Copies of this chain bind each other. A is one copy, B any other.
Amino acid sequence: MSKPLIPALAQFVAATAGRNMTKAAYVAVGLGVLSMVLLTVNPAYETAHRWVDALLWACLVYFVFEWVVRLRHMAQTGRLSLYMTSSAGVVDALGALAVPVALLIGIEPKTAWLLSVLWVLKVVPGIPGLRQLRRVLVLESGPLVSVLVIFLMVVFLASVAEYFLERDVQPQTFGSVPAALWWAVVTLTTTGYGDVVPVTPLGRVVAAMVMISGLGVFGLWTGILATGFAAETRRDNFLKTWESVSKVPFFAALGPAAIADVTHMLRTMELPARTMIIRKGTQGDCMYFIAAGEVEVDLPGKKVQLGEGAFFGEMALLGNNKRGANVSTTKVSRLLVLDLVDFRVLMARHPDLAETIDAEAKRRTLENK
């Protein structure tokens, strides 16, 4: 290996060791899976098989190397067994070992490389709202399982009835209960391929009832998930906001009851640096508190920086409907958003907050005259 490779490798090692997914890993997953897809398209593979093979091997080497680096890092920090039993560890091991093992035990290469589809599992921890979705599924698992059992029971009863009604007319497609089960699943999910279709009058009546049950199962399922999701969203938002509210001095004077109140009203917003928050001249219907980071207000003739704990956009809620200046972030910032609807309620319940905001608004107006 040539010299300049070594610092690059060192940097790569440091980056991959601690974090779950580097940008390079996302690229490797994308390229690897794309190559695997091309491998199965005969005309494409014949013209470019060198490139496809090279890419697949490169991705595999990358994932094996990543896995070894991570194993070493975990061993050094004494978390090896924790890592190897965690889902991330299992996915890393699968990504590194599945294809080589398949090749070693003599599976045909074109089939062995199909296992590289397991690389897509590596992006799972990077999905943003996954934890929230999983909580909903866990909390609502009771009713969801009930609906699934009802689903399976309808599938079973319907397929035996349909087998009985159709077997003589269509021995090819309804010749056994497993064949009828296939029909029942395709129908109850309202997929309806049309490869297996009842033709006898009674068979069609049963099928119609299965389809309408399908709508019912669907509706129940969705109803359960919607209910769970609404509760989880409220809970998740509260947790994120609570932490931030306590860091804003403006709310420090409030008692604990009022803070719980305020937390329910605020929404957290994470923004990258140099993002426009307020555009001059647009309609305004919320104000912002800075929980972390910094924003810049673009006033005529000067630029004002506001830091942690400051608020802005309150003019729009105090009668002046048009935004008066551009505001954008200078760093990565976390803002708390207070909608007009909640602002009114808050001001009514805590008149002292109203006065603080009013006074600050007047001061700013005078200053900018």
Contact = CB atoms under 8 A, between A and B. Distances in A.
Contact of A341 (B133, B186, B189, B238): B238
Which 6 pairs between the two chains have the least Cβ-Cβ distance?
Answer: A257-B348, A223-B226, A191-B192, A193-B194, A223-B225, A129-B146
Interface in A129-181: 129-130, 132-133, 136, 142-143, 145-151, 153, 156-157, 160, 163-164, 175-178, 181
Given A129-B142, A208-B185, A341-B235, A229 B218 contact: no
Interface stretch (A35-43, A54-62, A65-73, A358-366): A35-43
A216 B221 contact: yes
Given A219-B225, A225-B219, A225-B223, A157 B233 contact: no
Given A133-B143, A153-B120, A260-B348, A215 B227 contact: no
Given A128-B142, A194-B194, 16 more contacts: A36-B160, A42-B176, A120-B156, A129-B146, A143-B229, A143-B233, A189-B190, A191-B211, A192-B194, A216-B221, A216-B225, A223-B230, A226-B227, A255-B348, A256-B347, A257-B349
A15 interface: no
A224 interface: yes
A222 interface: yes
Interface string A11-50: 0000000000000000000000100110011100000000
- In this complex, the interface size class of chain A, counting residues with CB under 8 Å from chain B, is 35 or more
A256 to B, nearest CB: 4
A212 interface: yes
A182 B228 CA distance: 32
Copies in the complex: 4
A252 interface: no
Nearest to A174: B40
Nearest to A341: B238
Given A186-B211, A218-B219, A349-B257, A123 B111 contact: no
B225 A259 contact: no
Interface in A232-256: 233-235, 238-239, 242, 255-256
Contacts of A185: 208, 211-212
A234 B228 CA distance: 11
Given A178-B41, A191-B190, A156 B197 contact: no
A133 B146 contact: yes
